[in-house]
A and B are shown apart, each in its own frame.
Chain A
Amino acid sequence: MTPAATARAARAAAPAVPLVELVEVTKRFPGVVANDRVDLALRPGEVHVLLGENGAGKSTLIGILSGLQEPDEGEIRVDGRPQRITSPRHALALGIGTVFQHVMLVPTLTVAENLILGAPWWRRPDKAGLAAKVAAITDSFGLAVDLEAVTGELSLGEQQQVEIVRALLRDSRVLILDEATSMLTPKGIDELGALMRRLVARGLAVIFITHKLGEAFRFGDRISVLRLGRKVGEIPPERLNALDEAAATEEIVRLMFGAGAGDPDAEPHVARTLAPAAPLLSVRNLTVSGGAGIVGVEDVSFDIAPGEILGIAGIDGNGQKQLAEAIAGQRVASAGSVLVDGKPVDHFDVGARTRAGLRYLTDDRLSEGTVGTFPISLNLLLKRIGAAPYWSGGLERPGEIATHAEELVKRYDVRTPSIETPIGKLSGGNIQKVLLARELADGARVVVFNKPTYGLDVQNIRASRRRIRDIAGQGIAVLLISTELDELIELSDRIAVMARGRLAGIVGNDEGARLRVGELMIGAVS
Chain B
Amino acid sequence: MQGLLTDAFLTSLVFGAISAGIPLLLAGLGEQLSEKAGVLNIGIEGMMLAGAYVGFVAAFYSSSLWLGFAGGAAGGAAVALVMALLCVRHGLNQIVVGIALTLGVEGLTALLHHFQFGRTYPRLDAATSLPIPVLSELPILGPALFDRHPIVYGAIAMVAVMAFVYRRTNLGLDLQAAGDQPAALDVAGVDVVTTRTAAVIATGVMAGVGGAFMANIGAGLFIPFMTGGAGFIGIVLAMLARGRPLWVLAGALIFGACLSMTTALQVAGVNIPTDVIQMLPFAAVMAVLVIFGRRASLPAALGLPYVRGAR
Whether chains A and B associate is yes
Using a CB–CB cutoff of 8 Å, the interface residues on chain A facing chain B are 63, 66, 68-69, 87-89, 92-93, 98, 100, 104-109, 113-114, 116-125, 166
Contact across chains for B170 and A120 when beta carbons are under 8 A apart? yes
Bound Cα distance A87, B177 (Å): 17
Q: Are A92 and B189 in contact (CB under 8 A)?
A: yes
Chain A residues with CB under 8 A of B189: 87-89, 92-93, 118
The distance from the CB of A287 to the nearest CB of chain B, in whole angstroms, is 31
Q: B187 at the A/B interface (Cβ < 8 Å)?
A: yes
Q: Which residues of B contact A114 (CB under 8 A)?
A: 184, 188
Pick from A92, A108, A125: contact of B170, CB below 8 A: A125
Within 8 A of A (CB), among B184-242: 184-191
Let me know if B184 and A117 touch, CB within 8 A. Answer: yes
Q: Which B residues touch A93, using CB under 8 A?
A: 189
Q: Are B308 and A106 in contact (CB under 8 A)?
A: no
Chain B contacts for A123, CB-based, 8 A:
169-170
What's the nearest-Cβ distance from chain B to residue A163, in Å?
9
Say whether chain A's binding surface is mostly helix, strand, loop, or mixed: loop
Would you list 13 pairs from A and B whose C-beta atoms are within 8 A, ordered by A residue? A63-B309, A88-B188, A88-B189, A88-B308, A104-B184, A106-B181, A107-B181, A109-B177, A114-B188, A120-B170, A121-B174, A125-B170, A166-B188
* C-alpha spacing A92/B191, complex, angstroms: 13
Chain B residues within 8 Å of A69, by CB: 309
B180 in contact (CB, < 8 A) = yes
- With A88-B187, A104-B181, A117-B188 in contact, is A124–B169 under 8 Å at CB? yes
| A124 and B170 alpha carbons, distance in the complex (Å) | 6
* B170-A106 in contact (CB<8A): no
Question: Is there an interface contact between B186 and A121, defined as CB atoms closer than 8 Å?
Answer: no
Check A124/B168 contact, CB under 8 A, given A68-B308, A117-B177.
yes
Most A CB contacts (10 A, CB to CB) among B174, B184, B185, B187 go to B187
Q: B173 interface residue, CB < 8 Å from A? A: yes
A92 to B169, CA, bound (A): 22
Complex interface: chain B residues within 8 A of A120 (CB): 170
| Cβ distance B88 to chain A, nearest Cβ, rounded Å | 16
- Please tell me if B160 contacts chain A, counting CB pairs below 8 Å: no
Distance of A121 Cα from B172 Cα, bound (Å): 8
B277 on interface, CB distance cutoff 8 Å: no
| Chain A residue at minimum C-beta to C-beta distance from B243 | A108
Asked whether B171 lies within 8 Å of A121 as measured between CB atoms, the reply is yes
Q: Give the CA-CA distance A100 to B188 in the complex, in Å.
A: 12
CB distance from A353 to the nearest CB of B (A): 33
Q: How far is the CA of A123 from the CA of B188 in the complex (A)?
A: 16
B41 within 8 A of A: no
CB B276 to nearest CB in A, in angstroms, measures: 42
B102 within 8 A of A: no
Sort A-B residue pairs by CB-CB distance and give the 10 closest, nearest first.
Answer: A89-B189, A118-B188, A68-B309, A121-B171, A117-B188, A118-B189, A106-B181, A104-B184, A106-B177, A88-B187
A87 B191 Cβ-Cβ under 8 A: yes
Looking at the assembled complex, report how far the CB atom of A59 sits from the nearest CB atom of chain B, in whole angstroms: 8
The interface residues of chain B lying within 8 Å CB-to-CB of A109 are 173, 176-177, 180
Instruction: Compute how far the CA of A66 lies from the CA of B184 in the bound complex, rounded to whole angstroms.
Output: 13
The distance in angstroms between the C-alpha atoms of A474 and B177, with both chains bound, is 56
Chain B residues closer than 8 Å to A88, beta-carbon distance: 186-189, 308
* A106-B176 in contact (CB<8A): yes
Which of A105, A122, A166 is within 8 Å of B171, CB to CB?
A122
Set B169, B184, B190, B308: member contacting A125, Cβ < 8 A: B169
A85 CB to closest chain B CB (Å) equals 12
Contact A98 B176 (CB under 8 A): no
Q: Contacts A109-B173, A116-B173: A121 and B190 contacting too (C-beta < 8 A)?
A: yes
CB of A118 within 8 A of CB of B190, answer yes
Contact for A122 among B169, B181, B183, CB less than 8 A: B169
Taken residue by residue from 274 to 311, chain B's Cβ proximity to chain A (1 for < 8 Å, 0 otherwise) reads as: 00000000000000000000000000100000001100
* Cβ contact within 8 Å between B170 and A116: yes
User: Looking across the interface, which residue of chain A has its beta carbon closest to that of B198?
Assistant: A121
- Other A-B contacts than A117-B185, A118-B190, A122-B169, 8 sampled, CB-CB below 8 A, are A88-B308, A89-B191, A108-B180, A120-B170, A121-B170, A123-B170, A124-B169, A125-B168
Q: In the complex the two chains form, what is the Cα distance from A107 to B300 in whole Å?
A: 10
Residue of A nearest to B181 (CB): A106
CB distance from B89 to the nearest CB of A (A): 15
Complex Cα distance A413/B169, Å? 62
Contacts of B190 in A (CB 8 A): 89, 117-118, 121
Q: In chain B, what residue has the closest Cβ to A89?
A: B189
Residue from A69, A116, A118, A166 with most neighbouring chain B CB atoms (10 Å) = A118
A420 to chain B, nearest CB (A): 28
What is the bound-complex CA distance between A126 and B99, given in angstroms? Answer: 41
Q: List chain B residues, Cβ under 8 A from A100.
A: 187
> Smallest distance from the beta carbon of A30 to chain B beta carbons, Å?
13
Could you say which residues of chain B place their CB within 8 Å of the CB of A166?
188
Task: Give the residues in chain B near A125, CB-CB below 8 Å.
Answer: 168-170, 173
User: Known contacts A63-B309, A68-B308: does B170 contact A98 (CB below 8 Å)?
Assistant: no
**Using Cβ atoms and an 8 Å threshold, which residues of chain A touch B187?**
66, 68, 88, 98, 100, 104
B299 vs chain A, min Cβ distance (A): 8
Q: Which residues of A contact B173 (CB under 8 A)?
A: 109, 113, 116-117, 125
Q: Mark B140-180, 1 if CB is under 8 A from A, else 0.
A: 00000000000000000000000000001111011011001
Q: How far is the CB of B200 from chain A (nearest CB, A)?
A: 16
What residue of chain B has the Cβ atom nearest to residue A92's Cβ? Answer: B189
Distance from B208 Cβ to chain A, minimum over Cβ atoms (Å): 23
A108 touches which of B176, B183, B309 (Cβ 8 Å):
B176
CA A17 – CA B188 in complex, angstroms? 28
Give the nearest-CB partner of A59 in chain B. B311
A122 cross-chain contacts in B, Cβ below 8 A: 169-171
CA distance A109 to B181 in the complex (A): 10
Cα A113 to Cα B189 with chains together (Å): 14
Which residues in chain B, 27-62, are within 8 Å of chain A measured between CB atoms? none
Q: Point out the residues of chain B lying under 8 angstroms from A87, CB to CB.
A: 189, 191, 308
Residues of A within 8 A of B168 (CB): 124-125
Compute how far the CA of A21 lies from the CA of B171 in the bound complex, rounded to whole angstroms.
35
Task: Name the residue of chain A whose CB is nearest to the CB of B190.
Answer: A118
| Residues in chain A near residue B181, CB distance under 8 A | 104-108
Contact present for A117 and B174 (CB under 8 Å):
yes
Q: How far is the CB of A88 from chain B (nearest CB, A)?
A: 5
Find residues 58-96 in chain B having any chain A CB closer than 8 Å to their own CB: none
Cα(A113)–Cα(B176), bound, Å: 10
A98 to chain B, nearest CB (A): 7
B170 to chain A: which residues have CB within 8 Å? 116-117, 119-125
Residues in A neighbouring B184, C-beta threshold 8 A: 104-106, 114, 117
Shortest distance between the CB of B301 and any CB in chain A (Å): 10
Residue numbers in B under 8 Å from A105 (CB-CB): 181, 184
* Min CB gap B168→A, angstroms: 6
Contacts of A104 in B (CB 8 A): 181, 183-184, 187-188
Chain A residues lying within 8 Å of B169, measured Cβ to Cβ, are 121-125
Residue of A nearest to B174 (CB): A121
> B180, B308, B309: which has the most chain A beta carbons within 10 Å?
B309
